[in-house]
Amino acid sequence: MVFSRHLIKEDFKEASLFPLLVDGESMQPIINHKAVIVADLSQKEFIDTCIYVLYHGSKMWVKKYELASKSFVSINPKYSHLVYKEDEIHIIGRVLITFTNL
């Protein structure tokens, strides 16, 4: 995948960028179903309100981190039951940008 590095407004390690195709609606309206996201696999520090790729069980998820509850949550209210505590997950990396198909 090729895109201008100027699209990402924060520091990142280019060699650690990882694109993924999102399957699901739990992060809508910020990240749509079938959007492509790019995560930095070197960024594993939990930052409040940032979005991460993580493993829970045997599945990979995209969730927003909430410092107050120390958990990863869905943005879409229909998926509010998908909540994972810090100690239940394995962090993959922080999402830096999303590309959405119209």
**pLDDT of amino acid 10:** 85
Domain residue ranges of the chain, discontinuous segments joined by + = 16-99
State the Cα angle at 8 between 102 and 66, rounded to 5°: 85
In terms of Cα–Cα distance, which of 76, 89, 7, 65 is closest to 19? 7
pLDDT by residue for the chain (102 residues), tens only, comes to 778 888 888 889 888 999 999 999 999 999 999 999 999 999 999 999 999 999 999 999 999 999 999 999 999 999 999 999 999 999 999 999 999 876
Q: Which CATH class is domain 16-99?
A: mainly beta
> Do residues 70 and 86 make contact, with C-beta atoms less than 8 angstroms apart?
yes
Prediction pTM value? 0.91
